[in-house]
Structure 1
């Protein structure tokens, strides 16, 4: 076989594959949509949201939500306890590393803060000195 025939054959096979893949995708997509929405009913909002039914519907929804939460209460409490326990274990396990990191972090921040104060004082030296003079005068006047 020459190169042209091979290219043509490859192209045909590829187009068949794409077509087959597309059909499979569309088929599975239709299945998903049907399965997903099979339990849903069409909602008539004019009935649901009118003045008579609105309050009842809200109460019904609230009751359902409350019942759902009460059903899952034990599971939720269990998960919270489990999370706290995992967190405790993690902090015990990594205590030394955290302390070392915190120490280094404080040192970095300390240096940055010192530098910031130096710069601030250089920029605002006159204003700061003026404020200090005023405070001293007030103190002297009071005495």
Structure 2
């Protein structure tokens, strides 16, 4: 067998595989289409369902269904929230040193910029900051007198 013969055989195999794949895809697509056609959706008459007499009842029943659904899943929801918090905490503790090192490097790099930013921030919010400091001092004096 020479190289040309191998290429030809490979191409034939590839094309036959491609054809089988396409047939399988079309067959599954047709099956899905037929299965969805068989299931006919229930036609809802909204005029009848949501008229003035039934509206409140219908809303209450929907709320009740939703509440039971959430109540049934409550334990799973709480467990997932706890699991997420645990993972987050674990990740935080695992990468704490790296993050602290990064923060330290960042502060060193941006030392002057941060200093300038703080200065501008203080100038911009000077009155508000001084007012808070005065209030704290008054509260502290009152506590000291007691």
Q: Distance in 1 between matches of 2:95 and 2:118?
A: 34
Larger radius of gyration: 1
TM (norm. structure 1) is 0.56
Structure 1: 5+ residue runs without aligned partners?
Answer: 1-5, 121-143
- The answer for the alignment partner of 1:28 in structure 2 is 31
- Where structure 2 has 5 or more consecutive residues not aligned to the other structure, the ranges are 1-7, 121-146
Q: Which string of whole-angstrom CA distances, capped at 9 and with x for unpartnered residues, describes residues 94-122 of structure 1? A: 1100111222233444433456799x9xx
CA RMSD of aligned residues (A): 3.6
- TM alignment of 1:1-143, pairs within 5 A: 17=19, 20=23, 23-31=26-34, 33-34=36-37, 38=39, 40-114=41-115
Q: Name the CA distance, whole Å, in 1 between partners of 2:31 and 2:91.
A: 44
Q: Give how far 1:49 is off.
A: 2.1
Q: What are the Cα deviations for residues 68-99 of structure 1, in whole angstroms up to 9, with x where unaligned?
A: 11111111111111111111111111110011
